[in-house]
Structure 1
Amino acid sequence: EVVENYVDYRKKIITNRTGFELKKAKERLELVEGLLIALKNIDAVITTIKKSKATTEALESLVKKFKLTRKQAQAVLETRLQQLTSLEQEKLKKEYKDLKQKISEFEKILKDIRKVLKIIVKEVNELKNKYGDNRKTYVLQRISEISEKDLVQKKEVVITITEKGYCKRMDVKSYREQRRGGKGVIGSNLATGDFVKQLITCSTHDYLMFFTTRGRVLWLKAYDIPEAERYSKGKAMINLLNLKDEKVTSVISVNKFEYFLFMATRNGVVKRISLAHFSKPRASGVRAINLPADNSDVLIGVQILERGEEVLLSTKKGKAIRFSSNNVRDMGRASYGVTGIKMGKDDEVVSLEVLKTQAILTITKNGYGKRTAVKDYRKTARAGKGVINLKVTQKTGNVVTTISVNPTDSIIITTAKGM
């Protein structure tokens, strides 16, 4: 707790200090820009000043004729002639370049909490090297080094992912529980046509694995997702991840790389792979499933499972199939997969569930829901046509997703307007 309070204090200090330095740099940049304009038009500036009867008249003339601000014009009037040499001009050009670079760096620090944390680590290490000596008290456990992770408070958070590729991190307390039929609370101020497609509850210290429609996986720590207010739309994931003409389709939180991943594609192909294949995060990402090169299929869902657990695939036309994951052999990252369900014309898989709960909640496009006991889904072999999960009508609209639930579970459901 003491360390957390110290880190919070240092965050405020560095943020305030950087903001102050940014303000000073911008003010100086304004004056330097004015002096460079004056040097470029030195003869005309001198003539203008000589023709003026008073300082105020000279200032107004400089502002009007050379498009200077009043601060810039005042700086020109206060500059001695000996400072208007070619040598001084080169110094001003260098100062201008340095100021632009400083301003850019200050702005980056204020926009990125990770840069603030790195500065904290750097300054703590500098203090250690400068003033460090042998402790006068007995330490039961020594911390060998401070990492970025150590500076982030471990707490439960909610990560939201939208259809148009925005994400944000919020405290789990941002949502209050309501009964069915409630009006809801604003979860996001989303753009027209956008909607929250995934909510992940995890720890700030967990890894987040981002699986894309093209079958790649990329990693981030949960604390790398920018924290935002409930009504904010968040930050575009393209600014956080190395995405290449693809969208994030599933996000999984992981704190240890055990068990397996089970994947499903839009065309009904499934794949089981050990999480150990993804235990070494790479900034550029790696291939998780080898999808067709012609883009005829995309990854729609990824779930963590243990060997022998059962899965359920659901389609937009209301079909579903339940089978054991043991029906699917372990594969490597270069594999495509095997058939999980055979579908009719114009149908496609919309969701994948690993069966760990008592029931499945099916949600339709028009907001209808149906809770079905898992035992009511007949268990079959994979690659079958499945059973009727929900009768799709014009009133209900197509199935959009399913959720594994227990009777006492609380559920967060968001609409296209972020409610």
Structure 2
Amino acid sequence: MTDQSNHQVNIESEMREAYLSYAMSVIVSRALPDARDGLKPVHRRILYAMHDMGIGAGSTHKKSARIVGEVLGKYHPHGDGAVYETMVRMAQDFSMRYMLIDGQGNFGSIDGDGAAAMRYTEARTARIGDQLLVDINKDTVDFVENFDGTLNEPAVLPSMAPNMLINGASGIAVGMSTNIPPHNLGEICDALVHMLENWQRLEEIDVDELMRFVKGPDFPTGGVMFKMRGEDNMLRQAMATGRGKITLRAKVHIEDMGRGKSRIIVSELPYQTNKTTLVERIASLVRAGKLDGLVDLRDESDRQNSVRLVIELQRGADVTDVLKRLFKLTPLQSTFGIIMLALVDGQPRTLGLKQALRVFLEHRLEVVVRRSEFDLARARERAHVLEGLIIALDNLDAVISAIRKSRNTDTARKNLVKNFAVTEIQAQAILDMALRRLASLEIRRIRDEYKEKQRLIKSLENLLASPAKQRGHIAAELKKVKEEFGDRRRTIVSEGEATGVTQADFLMPEEKTVVMLSTKGDLGRTHGDDAPKITTGTKQPPRLLQHSTTAQILYLFAHDGYCATLPVQQIPQVKQAADGLRYSDLTDLGAKRKIVSFLCLPADLQTGYVCLFTAQGQVKRLQMLDLPGVMSHEFSVMKLAKRDRIVALLYSSGADELVLTTARGYAIRFSEDDVRATGLASGGVRGIELKDDRAVAACLIAERASHFWHVDKRGHANLTELSRIRSQTRGGIGRPLRGIQGIESEFVAAAVGRLSDTCLVVTSRGKAKYMTLGLAAKVMLGPRGIEPVIALRDKESVIGVVEYRQRIDVPADDLSADDELSLEEIEALLNQAEAAEDEDISASTNGADPALNGDD
């Protein structure tokens, strides 16, 4: 019998239609991420299934097999292997810049080892993974039916974090592919906030303006990235068009083994480089005779050093030549092709940096509006119920009587609606109200809740009516995300091109050192952490000086609010500061700029703040996370008023007290928490009110059981117990410090510490002198009367004091006093002087000015 259902079709048209259907399915449902949340369907389904199961960052880990089964059974009708592999990748710190899943167990390694079977491993969402799902239950996104129509799943996640750019994505579709690199969360958030704050001129913002914030991709494995290829800026091209190629290199340094031998240490690899494959490649090149000069190759990676490859060289081998061949012949150097292809409104589009950021912001704007509408509806519903309860409480006896006279619940409800002008919903709420809510405290809570709901309704209505407030709300959320999850850049951005061996390829092992800046701007560092020997005859002594290590980063701060960075190991080693190189030759800061101060900080430091102080009394607090790593160009750290300038800065822990002093001799002490931390592009707030147009002279961190030492232009110094400067609110005029009797002083510098601590006094003619704070008090209070702490010539003045906490043996010819007092004797003299000062203040002021007592 012939099958009547058989019929002939044109194979060409059938194949065309079937292939197009298959291609669209792969493009839309498998290979390409959505530009709004940066997720492919399988990633989204895993995260949503874990959310639905209650496996958040605050829960315990659950078996991976259980999670995979939930995803397969409800949302993703494909193989379990694909789901588990996707889940594993989201838990690998060498694959994801910010892991979305917190795995427990063997989830693979950078050596290419596979993860353990899903029955052995456990997982939960990471804290930043939870940020992608925030408010998903508030109708913020559309839901679609799952594969069998029995459940709903989100078409996109609310995604409070810009996941597509911070974690990247890769995939091969039909006729197209995507390869989006990961970026630094802090940089992306800064760029997004900048766009929100400049929304009115959004069309004018170009990629160059955004690249002031986003320095380029930031890979989880670190390494070095090169911008240029010939004369073309490939990084800018990729950021502008969404397509381009950048060169990545491993981070290496050279260790001297002595006797003419050295070894190359590889500490970071290019992104997606398999360490085992790299070792095998190097070994095969050596065996084939294509790479000589090597005597040993070891993998010394461990838990402390996730990557440490040791390549020992023959005695006398040319390190530069070996490195060149390693970069050329092995995966120590690779090319990353950027293709920022993602789905926008269901269609594949290639996005530049600006377009990708804008798509995310438009998505967040929609989420905020929908969330606000949801919250507003719920608030109105609750306020409506509370309003009915309040009506019942105001007419309690009559309500109870009406209910008691009713035959049943329906009659009671109708009587309440008729007699008290309430709605059906309010009447039902009155009937459902428990008797315990008639207590006076509960009645007050109902009224307070009603007032709170009214305020919430008004706030949400104002938010929905104002697009500017909506943008401000999103900016605040992004700042919070950055504060909680932001970290330092891992990938170094090199301005040059990857031809030959660059200076960045010789990152030295960590050694202790002292960094110095001379009075003329020469920058150098010592070998070891011993202080340079300085006498009054030393030419160009250090004006700034700080202990450091060669692994740290030097931040040079100029008077006009700009900063430049430099790896400490690239600073020339010298015996004296004057032997160094001019700072303008080592950084982009021009020679006409004045370096106010510098900080040497660990590259991985993520806590603490930089506090900046201006001549006009402004204070700014900057989070360490906001400071970029090593950069090739200068960047702004503070917006200054006209004719204002930065005069001092310091590093603080976040729980310190700050002391500001003025040239007129006033000091104010306040908690650094009084100064809200702000971003790089912002200005400061008032720290002290100045009088007679005098400027801020110095800033310090208050320390327990320490003394405050200040010196004027003529070298006259004074010492005060820091406890006498009481804390107050920032912005006041502060407390007058004890001056030098009979001398009109203009203070220029200060130091804080114990009497045994050492400082370096520097003059305008380049003369310097080490001395202890106790010796300063001895000169000030000694038998020969008032004397400067350092001898000055005509038209010579003190310009600064360098604190140096390490004990230094002060040369005998610098003591300039016959009979040195003990610290106990100095303390006694100080106590006498301060007691006399207290009597003078009490007699003269009679409590007239509260500011003199440290009150604002």
Same-fold status (TM-score > 0.5): yes
Alpha-carbon distance, 1:371 to partner: 2.6
Pairwise mapping of residues 302-317 of structure 1 onto structure 2 (< 5 A)?
A: 302-317=649-664
1:142-176 per-residue CA deviation (whole Å, 9 max, x = no partner) reads: 72378958753533222222343222212432546
**Residue of structure 2 equivalent to 1:267:** 616
**Residue of structure 1 equivalent to 2:598:** 251
1:223-280 per-residue CA deviation (whole Å, 9 max, x = no partner) reads: 2221122273532111111114422111011111321111110000001121101133
1:391 aligns with 2:556: no
**Residue of structure 2 equivalent to 1:202:** 548
In 1, the alpha carbon distance for the partners of 2:261 and 2:505 equals 16
1:167 aligns with 2:523: yes
Pairwise mapping of residues 290-305 of structure 1 onto structure 2 (< 5 A)?
A: 290-292=639-641, 294=642, 296-305=643-652
In 1, the alpha carbon distance for the partners of 2:569 and 2:673 equals 35
**Residue of structure 2 equivalent to 1:30:** none
In 2, the alpha carbon distance for the partners of 1:278 and 1:231 equals 26
8 Å CA contact retained: 1:166, 1:236? yes
**Residue of structure 1 equivalent to 2:628:** 279
Alpha-carbon distance, 1:197 to partner: 2.5
CA shift in 2, pair 1:155/1:321, >3 Å = same
CA shift in 2, pair 1:364/1:218, >3 Å = same
1:106-164 per-residue CA deviation (whole Å, 9 max, x = no partner) reads: xxxxxxxxxxxxxxxxxxxx989613889698967672378958753533222222343
In 2, the alpha carbon distance for the partners of 1:339 and 1:240 equals 34
In 2, the alpha carbon distance for the partners of 1:246 and 1:136 equals 48
CA shift in 2, pair 1:145/1:242, >3 Å = farther
TM-score (norm 1): 0.61
In 1, the alpha carbon distance for the partners of 2:504 and 2:608 equals 27
2:535 to 185, 188, 203: 185
Identity of matched residues, %: 21
CA shift in 2, pair 1:283/1:10, >3 Å = farther
Matched residue type, 1:162:
S
Pairwise mapping of residues 199-238 of structure 1 onto structure 2 (< 5 A)?
A: 199-230=545-576, 232-238=578-584
Alpha-carbon distance, 1:398 to partner: 2.1
1:143 aligns with 2:308: yes
1:263-300 per-residue CA deviation (whole Å, 9 max, x = no partner) reads: 110000001121101133321121110113x4x10011
**Residue of structure 2 equivalent to 1:367:** 715
CA shift in 2, pair 1:148/1:377, >3 Å = same
Bigger-Rg structure (1/2) = 2
Matched residue type, 2:257:
Y
In 1, the alpha carbon distance for the partners of 2:556 and 2:589 equals 10
TM-score (norm 2): 0.31
In 1, the alpha carbon distance for the partners of 2:741 and 2:711 equals 13
8 Å CA contact retained: 1:188, 1:232? no
CA shift in 2, pair 1:153/1:361, >3 Å = farther
More divergent stretch after superposition (248-257 vs 384-393): 384-393
SS in 2 for 1:238: helix
Pairwise mapping of residues 326-345 of structure 1 onto structure 2 (< 5 A)?
A: 326-345=673-692
In 1, the alpha carbon distance for the partners of 2:580 and 2:291 equals 41
CA shift in 2, pair 1:8/1:301, >3 Å = farther
CA shift in 2, pair 1:373/1:313, >3 Å = same
In 1, the alpha carbon distance for the partners of 2:260 and 2:600 equals 29
Gaps of 5+ in 1: 12-125, 177-183
8 Å CA contact retained: 2:610, 2:624? yes
Aligned length: 290
SS in 2 for 1:223: helix
Matched residue type, 1:158:
V
8 Å CA contact retained: 1:365, 1:396? no
1:417 aligns with 2:767: yes
Matched residue type, 2:703:
K
CA shift in 2, pair 1:268/1:393, >3 Å = farther
Matched residue type, 2:630:
P
Gaps of 5+ in 2: 1-253, 263-284, 312-502, 770-856
In 1, the alpha carbon distance for the partners of 2:760 and 2:690 equals 30
In 1, the alpha carbon distance for the partners of 2:537 and 2:611 equals 29
Matched residue type, 1:238:
S
Matched residue type, 1:156:
K
- What's the Cα RMSD here? 3.3
In 2, the alpha carbon distance for the partners of 1:412 and 1:395 equals 23
Alpha-carbon distance, 1:185 to partner: 2.6
